[in-house]
């Protein structure tokens, strides 16, 4: 079978996107998703995203990690599917779509997508890390030697260790650059390696830094391996609302693959 796909990337987090409005893709085929994401035997990507019709929203997003399993929300993937929907002519400059963690409002201007993330009402503060869920689960910890860390080894140890074990969490290492700017490197669950950026991850870092009073700003810049992302938010009581993840999302190529 010939499968048409588009390749997108959002600050280096890269995805295979498929227009699945006609339900052409076999959604439970873990082996196929893994094969398509394989960087040697397939297209190569951190994840695969299906765009589908939805009765009550402009479209529906279904997200799979490169291990082939459907997973929780992908912030950079959310930015890429908004750019894809705009490219397909499904939306113009703004949209409301539905994903596994609920509905998301977003705007697009040129190649910059501003994506609203789910509200965050709980942040667990521990001695040397913070845990919160921004649509996906995130462990956030400081690292002074962030350039030298062996992310794959150190990230995997945390991701598979207590209290996460098999279900796991994404692991973000942070270094403060200035009052409202931080550098982030992320080990992603389901990719089981470092990715060049993680959208729900930088969102978690921005909120964690504000929660820990490392910044007083409600607009934070995150420098990631694949570029720069911005996160803005409002603190309402002990919750975070009106959270937006902003950055570039671009189409790299269109292709067909035999599978």
Of 17-25, 30-38, 65-73, 220-228, the segment contacting ligand API by CB under 6 A is 65-73
Compute the distance between CA of residue 33 and CA of residue 25 in angstroms, rounded to an integer: 10
Smallest gap from Cβ 207 to ligand API, in A, equals 14
Catalytic, 74? Answer yes
Binding of ligand API at residue 114 (CB under 6 A)? Answer: no
Q: Considering just the CA atoms, what is the radius of gyration of the chain in Å?
A: 17
Q: Does residue number 72 form part of the binding site for ligand API (CB under 6 A)?
A: yes
Matching residue, tokens 């994840």:
47
Q: How far is the CB of 13 from ligand API (least distance, A)?
A: 5
Q: How far is the CB of 46 from ligand API (least distance, A)?
A: 6
**218 preceded by a cis bond (ω within 30 of 0):** no
* Residue closer to ligand API, measured from CB, 42 or 226: 226
Within 10 Å of residue 211's Cβ, how many Cβ atoms?
18
- Residues from 172 through 201 that contact ligand API (CB under 6 A): 188-191, 198-201
Length of the chain in terms of residues written? 259
Under DSSP, the state recorded for 70 is B
Indicate which single residue of 13, 86, 215, 223 sits in contact with ligand API (rule: CB under 6 A).
13
Pairing status of strand 170-178 against strand 102-109 = unpaired
Binding status of residue 74 toward ligand API by CB under 6 A: yes
Q: Give the residue from 6, 144, 26 showing the smallest Cα distance to 77.
A: 6
User: Is 76 part of any known ligand binding site?
Assistant: yes
Phi, psi (degrees; rounded to nearest 5) at 187: -95, 120
Tell whether 189 is in a known binding site. yes
161 is in an annotated binding site: no
Residue positions annotated with a catalytic role: 74, 198
Given the rule CB under 6 A, which residues bind ligand API?
13, 46, 65, 71-72, 74-77, 136, 170, 188-191, 198-201
């Amino acid at each position: 079978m010939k499968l048409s796909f588009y390749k997108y990337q959002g600050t280096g987090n890269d995805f295979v996107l498929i227009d699945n409005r006609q339900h052409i893709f076999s959604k439970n085929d873990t082996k196929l998703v893994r094969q398509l994401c394989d960087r040697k035997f397939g297209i190569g990507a951190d994840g695969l995203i299906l765009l589908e019709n939805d009765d009550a929203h402009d479209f529906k997003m279904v997200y799979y990690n490169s291990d082939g399993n459907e997973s929780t929300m992908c912030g950079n993937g959310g930015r890429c599917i908004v750019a894809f929907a705009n490219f397909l002519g499904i939306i113009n400059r703004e949209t409301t779509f539905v994903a596994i963690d609920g509905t998301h409002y977003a705007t697009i201007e040129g190649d910059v997508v501003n994506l609203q993330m789910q509200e965050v009402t709980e942040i667990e503060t521990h001695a040397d890390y913070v845990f919160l869920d921004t649509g996906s689960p995130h462990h956030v910890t400081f690292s002074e030697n962030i350039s030298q860390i062996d992310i794959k080894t150190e990230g995997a140890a945390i991701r598979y260790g207590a209290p996460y074990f098999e279900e796991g969490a994404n692991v973000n290492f942070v270094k403060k650059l200035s009052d409202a700017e931080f550098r982030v490197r992320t080990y992603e669950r389901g990719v089981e390696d470092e990715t060049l950026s993680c959208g729900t991850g930088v969102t978690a870092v921005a909120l964690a830094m504000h929660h820990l009073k490392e910044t007083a700003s409600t607009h934070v810049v995150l420098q990631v391996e694949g570029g720069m992302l911005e996160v803005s938010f409002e603190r309402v009581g002990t919750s975070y609302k009106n959270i937006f993840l902003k950055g570039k999302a671009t189409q790299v190529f269109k292709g067909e693959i035999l599978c």
